[in-house]
Structure 1
Amino acid sequence: MQVCNLSTLGSACLGHVERRIWACSQDLGPVFSEIDRLVAANVRKVQAAFRAHRIGPHHFQGSTGYGHGDLGREALDSVMAAVMGAEAALMRVQFVSGTHAIASALYAVLRPGDEMLAVAGHPYDTMEEVIGTRGTPGHGSLMEWGVSYRELPLGADGRIDWEGLAKAIVPGKTRVAHIQRSCGYALRPTLSIDEIERAVKIIKAQDPSVVITVDNCYGEFTDTREPCDVGADLCMGSLIKNPGGTIAPGGGYVAGRADLIGRVAARLYAPGIGIDAGGVPGSTLRTFFQGLFLAPQTTGEALKGGRLVAELLHREGFTVIPSPGLPDVWSMITAVELRSKGAMTAFCRGIQRTCPIGSYIRPEPGVTAGYGDEVIFADGTFIDGSTAELSADGPIRPPYVVYCQGGTHWTHWALALEGAMTSLQEELAREN
């Protein structure tokens, strides 16, 4: 990689980086066109759901207290169910994160003596404390409640071990088969909907009663189908990722079988309260509806930004997943192997300087709730922690991978990469 020393070259080096970035974007024209086709198909689907449920201004009134009789909240749940290909859904501001939505679904289904099987290797770091493989004793992890846990390791190619999955279910004991769609903090490919459909069929052939749950975070609108379309019993995600369209102020969702959604509501609130409660301000309802409508478009822009990151960093000699060009599976997350703590830190600092919020903040690796390793974050966003806007982060551990997500428009990534690459080049010059 050609290294510019900004301390001596100044704006000349920045101009050199800028030219390389825009050259990449020109070469990505055919890829961007395919993403636009995907966006159009998903906008059509969302539009159809809004039309079918006759969404109008009267759905933006909101509610307080118990929230009984909130027509907008009920309509939103129905629209989300239709978009997700599910019987029912809870799209609620009371979920504080994707991890909260996933945990609520797991606690709703699992009982003492049951087994949870992770089908796609080790799940995302924040799930470790929910499951009980790490965390504070006495906080009520699944394992503390008598649920056993097992993982099916990924194959050598980083994908599901299909032969192993065909004999992994223990009928009468394995209650939940959990699939993580995105790569999370792992150097593996994002799962396609076709792969999820294949896994569902293999699991159900061994025991039809197994509940298949899918961590759908970062997966929404990256395909024209969602996990429940292909037989998943529940799928879950965060509204400050794809489906919130970058304007939802918080929240999450669970979609799937109607009987299981009732259980999830009992877990989120309390037994006996049901799904017909939960106050939500009218302004929040409107942003949920509007964010869901915008979600295919903002997801498409994030996909374009990810393709730009992959193209540029690959040309600069770094390993990226997915590989540059037209991928087999669209992924909201682009992983870049930077090979050192210093390089990770420099890259994230360069990204932070181009964020609209907190550009003056200097990211440092540190301890973060829910993570076992130190983590560094670049995420100057309007919604706190909204990885759908634009962010780069990762745990500080070999091989020192930064995970790039989001972007309200791909040109924001073009500008962010100017800062990231110049900062990274300075660090590499020091290391060499």
Structure 2
Amino acid sequence: KVYADVFGAEACLVSPFIVSGTHAISLALFSVLKHGERVLSVTGRPYDTLLKVIDGGEMSLKADDITFDYIPLKGADFDYEKIGNALKENKYSMVYLQRSRGYDEREAISVDKMLPLTEFVRSCGFDGCIFCDNCYGEFVEKKEPTEVGVDLVAGSLIKNIGGGITPTGGYIAGKQKYIDRAEARLTSPSIAGEVGSYAFGYQYFYEGLFLAPHVVNQALKGSLLIGAVMGELGYHTVPAPFALPYDITRSVMMGDEEKLLKFIQSVQYVSPVDSFVEVAPWNMPGYEDKVVMAAGCFVDGASIELSCDAPLREPYNAFIQGGLTYEHVVIALKEILSRL
């Protein structure tokens, strides 16, 4: 109920047994969608780790004859003409959008831009589920997607909303009818949300939520500093220097593999955990290209803690995110500049 209130939603499923943002999104999709239904993604192809969820063999959505159609963004906004035509020509059960950019070279989607989208989609006669991958976006803006017409959001507790404290878990928030289905899928239809105790207690789930707005503030300040400095040095960054971010991630185009590795290895070097490790590209599960990742975090995989990663492909963008304290970001930036 506390999480539901935060999202302005009817209900929320919060569980330590949801292991990641990808898991939360996958759970939501498999819960809501039925055999033979179609999904319209209005932000293009989803993040790399979701591609096998959609079309990755006998356990994927495609195996249940559930298909995705993709409409890329038009510049920095939705392509309303193509969305309208698609909704007119086909019967869709879900409209899907991804708030953060993943590894794409684009801005994150602001909540303000979601309101006209949801209104437009409904004006086209769509009566299905409007879903948003909310990873990296919680508490960045004053409102959440569920307050502007989005029916369902999902994300990870080791990103923004966990405040760097919550050790594991994920959430799905939105309309009660969809949360009921997600609870039944997570456990079983006969049990749903009535069980699921966690032996270690829930203190850190509440404490992380309490701290999350301030921690996100620190991460955003750090992102703005990195954007300003790297932009001044001639590097292309998204968001642009001094532009207000709509999520906690920032890309910096390094241009070649050597500079990319120096950038990311610098972040690992000043990390509080495993700072002695020199990170290298590897075939990380769920990704199409080799990935290099700096993640010397107290909570494994916690991208609200200062971390940095990149697919090893042109134009060699480094994706840096998080920062529990602004001061840690300052230290990391100094190390990055010294190595470059």
Please tell me the TM-score bracket, short chain as reference.
Answer: over 0.9
Q: Is the 8 A contact 1:203 1:210 kept in 2?
A: no
Aligned partners of 1:258 and 1:154: how far apart in 2? Answer: 30
In structure 2, what is the equivalent of residue 317 of structure 1? 234
Corresponding letter in the other structure for 2:180: G
Match 1:365 to one of 281, 289, 295: 281
Question: Residue 223 of structure 1 aligns with which residue?
Answer: 141
1:11-410 alignment, distance < 5 Å: 78-132=1-55, 135=56, 137-138=57-58, 140-155=59-74, 157-170=75-88, 173-283=91-201, 285-327=202-244, 329-410=245-326
Distance (Å, rounded) in 1 between the aligned partners of 2:69 and 2:212:
34
Equivalenced residues, count: 340
Secondary structure in structure 2 of the residue aligned to 1:104: helix
Using the TM superposition, give the Cα deviation of residue 408 of structure 1 relative to its aligned residue in structure 2, in angstroms: 0.6
SS in 2 for 1:144: helix
Deviations 1:232-259 (A, max 9, x none): 1100000000000001001000000001
Relative to the length of structure 2, the TM-score reads 0.97
**What letter is aligned with 1:292?**
L
Instruction: Say yes or no: does 1:420 pair with 2:326.
Output: no
Counterpart residue identity of residue 346, structure 1? K
Question: 1:112–1:416: structure 2 CA closer, same or farther, 3 Å change rule?
Answer: same
Matched-pair contact (CA < 8 Å) for 1:159–1:188: no
Q: Which amino acid aligns with 1:79?
A: V
Scaled by the length of structure 1, the TM-score of the pair is 0.77
* Contact 2:135-2:156 at 8 Å conserved across structures: yes
CA contact (8 A) 1:177 1:211 kept: yes
Describe the superposition over 1:308-367 as per-residue Cα deviations: whole angstroms up to 9, x where unpaired.
11011111110001111142x533111101111111111111111000000000110110
| Alpha carbons 1:335, 1:402 under 8 Å: kept | yes
> Structure 1 CA distance, aligned partners of 2:77 and 2:310?
21
Contact 2:164 2:302 in 1 (8 A): yes
Q: Secondary structure at the match of 2:246?
A: coil
Q: Is the 8 A contact 2:270 2:331 kept in 1?
A: yes
Q: Which runs of 5+ in 2 are unaligned?
A: none
Residues 109 and 246 in structure 2, CA contact (< 8 A), matched pair in contact too: no
Change (3 A) 1:197 1:87: same
% identical equivalent positions: 37
Q: Unpaired segments of 5 or more residues in structure 1?
A: 1-77, 426-432
Query: Retained in 1: the 8 A contact 2:185–2:192?
Result: no
Aligned residue type for 1:401: N
CA shift, 1:171, in A, is 7.3
**Which structure would you say has the larger Rg?**
1
Taking a change above 3 Å as real, the CA distance of residues 206 and 214 of structure 1, as seen in their structure-2 partners, is: same
Tell me how far apart the structure 2 counterparts of residues 171 and 271 of structure 1 sit (CA, whole Å): 35
Alpha-carbon distance in 2 for matches of 1:266, 1:216: 22
Residue 167 of structure 1: how far off its partner (Å): 2.3
SS of residue matched to 1:331: coil
Contact 1:322 1:331 in 2 (8 A): no
Give the AA of the match of 1:417.
L
Paired AA for residue 179 in structure 1: L
Aligned CA RMSD, in angstroms, stands at 1.3
- Normalized per residue, the structure richer in helix is 1
